Structure 1
Amino acid sequence: MDLYYEVNGNGHPVVLLTGGADVRNWTFVAPLLAKHYKVIAFDGRGTGKSPSPIEDVNHVEDLSSLLDHLEINQTTLIGHSMGGQIATEFALKYPEKVSKLILLAPGLSGFIYSKEFEGSMKKIHEAAPDIDKMIELLLCDPSYRVVTESPHRNLMVQMLHHHMNRMFEWPAVKLVGLQPPAIERLGELTTKTLLIIGKEDSPDNLRVANYFRKHSDARIIEIPGADHMVNLTHPEKLYNQITVFMEE
């Protein structure tokens, strides 16, 4: 197994997935969960301490390989942002391997984002390779207005800086996603699912949560005063909601 991972605690396995960051994304949540569970946090291919890809990237199959390597037959998945998108796709493809699914402000493959979001992403990409400028533009997005005013802003900036540096190392590869995309298959999601999102997240991310509300049996919980980085700013509230859900 060439992916970097960390294991802490004992008990039922819980795997933490993130998107545009690394294991530091779980700095405050993982220690709380490790009191009662075996917590596995890992860096996706091309992020954190994991190697850059040399061929097209399939995050779902990478996760499957990690579980096989750790000899885990079934686990709870907790995915944040793009990590939530990957966790959803994994649960659709390998439902027998997922005991419960917990999504924190997840992405959703096939979802059509707003023109405002696409415009913001275009400006960020046009600022490349000036990473400081790219981060400045990204943190202007409404989905980060709470974390940027919190004591965790520096950690957020450090993770983004590292992640963007790593992205520039990638060769010309593609991300291999679920086909058909998850947005067309939410009705097939049989895993018991909890979706948590900050009320101050962006309109697009709130629309994703609402799509889950309408097209799946997911339980939706909104955290007041939290934005997209609810895992950094509200770890205790997350922990409480997660443990109640897992112990049901």
Structure 2
Amino acid sequence: MVIESFAFETGGAELTGLEAGEGLPVIFLHAGVCDKRMWLDQMAAVAEAGWHAIAYDRRGYGETTSPDEAFNHLDDLDALLDAFDIHAAVLVGCSMGGGLAIDFALRHPGRVIGLVLIGTSVTGAPWSATEAEAMIEAAEEHAFERGDMDMLNRVQAHEWLDGPRAQSGRVAGAARELFMDMNALALAKPALTQEQRRPEAWSRVGEINAPSLLLVGDQDFTALIDRHEHLSEEMPNAFAAVLENVAHIPSIERPELVNSMLVEFLDAISGGGDAESDDDSED
């Protein structure tokens, strides 16, 4: 399966991405400690299953470049869909990418065919941490205040890749190397100080009627596991699953598991047949 690069401009930014396959579009939205490369395995699986896989680097991540100008990630996602002449898509988001998918679904319900939310953020959601989790958050804050980006990257790899209650280095090999590289790029980017705040979504998640797959790892933050349970109760068309021995970035930790669940979900919402390209007919 050939994965091709693309770029498009919005405002003063040039957003970069990857695409593969043909059919109904599946837009992948990366976590705040990653970039578009966290989805490479899923893109290949989705494209092979007959869908058009698209992943892009948001402002402040990966290969995307942006001046420090006023912007909103929702408007940038709109611009991506316009660039591809896409009317409606399935949105797959992890962490902050999931929060963006939720906000987009609330703003444009007719443009969302389905949602896959992994360890998702939700704009305006509450947060709490256990004592062990608070300790690693304190280490993260200390590294940030010292300006030690290498240490910050290592702490965040423990926090998000291994899991805040797990042994540091639990996830090794290519997955760890990829995480460290993606997050290092994000940490080295110039600060963007003019991002526009998005409306609170926590009290509105029950309005999302699109079929949704909710996933969370049992090694993730307890607040995210609790949030997962809340969303599974509030969102009327959601199927929820907790992944065992997985933390916040299952797409690179357990790609085969995520791939199988994702493709099964896409088959279900497309009626079990091959997805065929007809973007303008979906609403």
- Normalising by structure 1, report the TM-score: 0.91
Distance of 1:112 and 1:190 partners within structure 2: 22
Aligned length: 244
Q: 4+ residue runs of structure 1 moved beyond 6 angstroms?
A: none
- In angstroms, what is the RMSD of aligned CA positions? 1.9
Are 1:124 and 2:140 an aligned pair? yes
The change in CA–CA distance for 1:120 and 1:30 in structure 2 (over 3 A counts) is: same
Are 1:34 and 2:53 an aligned pair? no
Q: 1:19-78 CA deviation, whole Å, 9 max, x = no partner?
A: 322111112221111112111110001211111342233111110111011100111110
The change in CA–CA distance for 1:54 and 1:111 in structure 2 (over 3 A counts) is: same
1:10 is displaced (CA, Å) by 0.9
Are 1:8 and 2:24 an aligned pair? no
Question: Residue 22 of structure 1 is aligned with which of 35, 55, 60?
Answer: 35
The change in CA–CA distance for 1:115 and 1:56 in structure 2 (over 3 A counts) is: farther
Q: Aligned residue for 1:213?
A: 232
One-letter amino acid matched to 1:149: V
Q: Aligned residue for 2:158?
A: 140
1:149 is displaced (CA, Å) by 2.5
Q: 2:90–2:112: 8 Å Cα contact kept in structure 1?
A: yes
Q: 1:143–1:202: 8 Å Cα contact kept in structure 2?
A: no
Q: 2:71–2:194: 8 Å Cα contact kept in structure 1?
A: yes
Distance of 2:177 and 2:54 partners within structure 1: 24
The change in CA–CA distance for 1:142 and 1:40 in structure 2 (over 3 A counts) is: closer
Higher mean C-alpha displacement, 195-204 vs 80-89: 195-204
1:161 is displaced (CA, Å) by 0.9
Are 1:235 and 2:249 an aligned pair? no
Alignment of 1:1-248 (within 5 A): 1=9, 2-20=14-32, 21-35=34-48, 36-116=50-130, 120-128=136-144, 129-141=147-159, 144-145=162-163, 148-151=170-173, 152-166=175-189, 169-177=190-198, 179=199, 181-217=200-236, 218-248=238-268
Distance of 1:124 and 1:191 partners within structure 2: 36
- Unpaired runs of 5+ residues, structure 2, are 1-8, 269-283
Distance of 1:187 and 1:10 partners within structure 2: 32
Distance of 1:93 and 1:71 partners within structure 2: 18
Q: 1:78–1:87: 8 Å Cα contact kept in structure 2?
A: yes
3-state SS in 2 of match to 1:225: coil
One-letter amino acid matched to 1:233: E
Q: 1:164-214 CA deviation, whole Å, 9 max, x = no partner?
A: 111xx124323421x2x1101011112111111112222111011012022
Q: 1:84-127 CA deviation, whole Å, 9 max, x = no partner?
A: 00001101110111111111111111112115556644542332
3-state SS in 1 of match to 2:155: helix
Q: 1:209-247 CA deviation, whole Å, 9 max, x = no partner?
A: 012022212211112121111100211111111122111
Distance of 1:82 and 1:16 partners within structure 2: 12
Q: 1:45–1:53: 8 Å Cα contact kept in structure 2?
A: no
One-letter amino acid matched to 2:223: D
3-state SS in 1 of match to 2:213: strand
